[in-house]
Amino acid sequence: MMIAQAAVPRDIGVLEWLFDSTSWTGTDGILSSLGDTVILCAIVVVIATITMVPLASWLAHTRRGEVSVSWLVTLSRAIPTFAVAGLLVPISLRSGWGFEPWPIFIALLLLALPPIFLNTYTAIQQVDPGAVDAARAMGYSETEVLFRVELALATSVILAGVRVAAVTVVATEPIRAFLGGDGLGRYVRDGLGQNNDGLVIAGAMLIAGLAGLTALSFRSVERFALPDGVRRLATSATR
Amino acid sequence: MNYSLFKKLILLVVALAVVMTACGDGDGDSAIDGPTIRLRGQDFSEAVTIAEVYGQYLQAKGYDVEILTPAGFRTEAIDGLRNDELDLIVDYIGGSLTALAPDAASSSDPDEVVTIIGPAYEEIGATLLDYSPAVDGDAFVVRGDSPASTISDVADLGYVFGASAQCFERPQCFLGYTDPAIYGITFAETVTIEFGPLLGEALAAGEVDAVVWNTTAPQITEQGFKVLEDDQGLHPAQNIAPIISTEVLNEYGDQLRDDLNELSAMITTEDLLAWNTETDIAKRESDDVAAEWLEEKGLN
Amino acid sequence: MIPLLAQAANPIVRWEYFIDEWDQIRRALVEHLELTVYAVALGLIVSAGLAAIALRYRWMVTPINGFTAFLYTIPSVALFGILVPYFGLSRLSAVLPLAAYTLLILVTNIVAGFNSVSPEVREAADGMGMTPARRVFQVELPLAMPYIIAGLRIAVVSTVGLVTVAAIIGQGGLGRLILDGLRRTFWTPMTIGSSLSILLALALDGLILLGGRWLTPWAQRGRGVL
């Protein structure tokens, strides 16, 4: 039986699509996908931070686990994320937990833990005695030194670790679209599946854009959190 | 001290270069003279097995065949032919139709499809050979306990629909199911799932109520799913057929054409299903499954 | 959970598979190694160039940094997918994005390495009559090596992980095993592919670490968290 078909649209212009308001609204729209992505990434980063910062601080403080730290970080960088998530999906489905959130959540969490852990550990371990001495020389009291110098210096490094974790998570979250989910990765997935290069590029730009925005936001928070004087102190003392 | 660093660096680079070139592979030789036939299967188990079957069959006949690592899908396969990267591919004729002549009318009659894609392939320097009786077409699959027996029955069931990204943009797929002039189904929700066993997993887990799969997916019978009847004839004919670079075909002449057609005629839909059961359920490797089948048929 | 992972035909690792398919596994391993080396080598060459520009023209630091960071955030699947129509399912389509992802860490570390050389050392070298080229290669480079080695380690480990993603364009080495496992819900190749990939990364990391020590024996004093 012969059936007439409409021409299949391919290669939607990138700018055209991005500037079309219908691309942004609706359940399949960019805003909705953006929301999905941001929520998942935020939850992952928050949980990674509240678990790793205390743990790493304590370990560094009590001088434990120094050798294993570096290997653990290397190991976690070596784990193929999509393999982890892909392996977890059938398990999740068969256990009745559906496609989301566990597989992608666990995979992204594994990505977020190492930078936060390493930076916190290093930060607490490496507070530069030079900065401390300089502060004392400038007349800070011991408590002031602790909170306004040591912790302040440690905070900036910890925040940098959280920033790296956040950007990595945002940049990797797109694999969720290939595992039964959506989020910003859906445009790359759909574009690849439908031979629509324009959509792939647009999707990639959106993700890169969000990652860049995340990086910039964190950097401004870091700048804001660290008072000028201490930052100058920190940059000259610790280089 | 400084020179020693430099010397060491040079030493390292040279050593690396030596190691890299040492990791190579050798070549075989063949009985029939002619150019190497580069064959590549698409990147899913059925296509890999099909490629192995055709490849090993030709090798047994004495042709110089290079079975490349399976990669990509239809687009890459056709591009490979077009760019002289590949010489032989095996495709599903309905899929070729969508790829080469998206504006042409679809059909569930293989002969009609072939009249369109034959010339389309000639335009890119390839020759479409005879199609096989073996078919792997689109399957609209639901769980065994569903009340529907034809696709039209699904119209008002408010099902959650799962399929791969391609399906959502194809007129013979999602667009056809939801087209009021054809099936006019309203789905409660849609989920995009990578094509493959995940479709079955999602269906079994209740994440979706209907998926678009392929008719030879062994998990369908294994999990007690059912394939609904395509009562509106939306799904195109999907017989497998080899397509070979015209240049290479001419080098070998009629012998190669006849050999390939002979093989295509011997493959049946049941064979496809059996191969998939071996690779996807019993988890055996495609090259072993292909070798076994060829031996059974006395073709190697 | 255990029954899920231990069905008869589908245990976590079916050892016969490892033995029967050893040829395939070995080839995947070699391909993985090759892709990693080509990608990091290319990345290193390009990074050296970019770093040289950044060090010579200070105002270029931010744009170069921004550029390499931007490349890093492009999802790998997208980058591989976009190159295929142009370069086909070839090594090039895999190596180019992989090299691009190493730029951020390599450029950052090369620049940091050369920046760590104190001005006094440079002045001393100039004072001894060295030409700028000799000074860079004989004095600054050895001093920058620890940073470069550290960057190389990170770059290599990340690349090994990313090569697995290149499996979607047929160039993934061990990633092909993982993908095959995903496509057939077959745990064995997934486990073998993932484990070997991790082991390869750790092995290469160790090799570079040792190689770094061999190249820069003078940098072993002092504690550093590099």
Domains of chain A: 30-57+66-238 (1.10.3720.10)
Global pTM reads 0.83
What is the four-CA torsion angle of C130, C134, C136, C140, rounded to 10 degrees?
-80
Q: Which residues of chain A have a CB within 8 Å of the CB of B192?
A: 177, 180, 182, 186, 189-190
Better-scored residue on pLDDT, A80 or B240? B240
Closest CA to C29 of C153, C202, C193: C193
Residues 6 or more apart in contact with residue C48 via CB below 8 angstroms: C110
pLDDT digits (tens, 9 = 90+) for A113-134: 888 888 888 787 776 667 767 8
**How far from the centroid of its chain's Cα atoms is residue C187's Cα?**
27
Mutate to test the interface with A, among C62, C77, C190, C191 (most CBs of A within 10 A): C77
pLDDT tens profile C101-157: 999 989 988 988 888 888 888 888 888 888 888 888 888 888 888 888 888 998 999
- The residue count of chain A comes to 239
What are the residue ranges in chain B where pLDDT is below 50?
Answer: 1, 26
Q: Which of A217, A186, A216 is nearest to A204 (CA)?
A: A186
User: Which DSSP symbol is given to A95?
Assistant: T
Name the average pLDDT for chain C: 85
Give chain A positions within 8 Å (CB) of B207. Answer: 93, 98-99, 180
List, as one string, the DSSP characters of C57-95: SGGGHHHHHHHHHHHHHS-HHHHHHHHHHHH-SSHHHHH
Q: Is residue A35 very low, low, confident or very high in pLDDT (cuts 50, 70, 90)? A: very high
Is A183 an 8 Å CB contact of chain C? Answer: no
Domains and CATH numbers, chain B: 37-135+237-296 (3.40.190.10), 138-227 (3.40.190.120)
- The domain segmentation of chain C, as residue ranges, is 28-216
3-class SS string, chain B = CHHHHHHHHHHHHHHHHHHHHHCCCCCCCCCCCCCCEEEECCCCHHHHHHHHHHHHHHHHHCCCEEEECCCCCHHHHHHHHHCCCCCEEEEEHHHHHHHHCCCCCECCCHHHHHHHHHHHHHHCCEEECCCCCCECCEEEEECCCCCCCEHHHHCCCCCEEEECHHHHHCCCCHHHHHCCCCCCCCCCEEEECCCCHHHHHHHHHCCCCEEEEECCCCHHHHCCCEECECCCCCCCCCEEEEEEEHHHHHHHCHHHHHHHHHHHHHCCHHHHHHHHHHHHHCCCCHHHHHHHHHHHCCCC
Assign A44 a pLDDT band (cuts: 50, 70, 90). Answer: very high
What's residue A170's pLDDT? Answer: 92
Contacting A residues, span 55-74, partner chain C, CB-CB under 8 Å? 70-71, 74
What value does the mean pLDDT take over residues A72-83? Answer: 80
Chain-chain contact of B1 with C142 (C-beta, under 8 angstroms): yes
- Tell me the C-alpha distance between C47 and C41, whole Å: 10
pLDDT(A229) > 80: no
* Contact (Cβ atoms closer than 8 angstroms) between residue B212 and residue B163: yes
A99: which 2 tokens? 């496609």
Q: Is the pLDDT of residue A199 over 90?
A: no
Higher pLDDT, C83 or B89: B89
- Calculate how close chain A gets to C49, using CA atoms only, in Å: 24
Which amino acid appears at position A164 of this protein?
A: V
Structure tokens at B172: 């013979």
Task: Name residue B166's amino acid.
Answer: Q
pLDDT at A5: 25
Q: What per-residue confidence (pLDDT) applies to C83?
A: 87
What value, to the nearest 5°, has the Cα angle with vertex A87 and ends A82 and A90? 125
CATH code for residues C28-216: 1.10.3720.10
Whether the pLDDT of residue A148 is over 70: the answer is: no
| Shortest alpha-carbon distance between residue C134 and chain A (Å) | 27
The Cα–Cα gap between B134 and B241 comes to 9
| Helix (H/G/I), strand (E/B), else coil: A183 | coil
Other beta carbons less than 10 A from residue B15's beta carbon:
10
Inter-chain touch B171–A177, beta carbons under 8 Å: no
CB–CB contact C183 B282 (8 Å): no
Sign of the dihedral through C-alpha C72, C77, C78, C79: positive
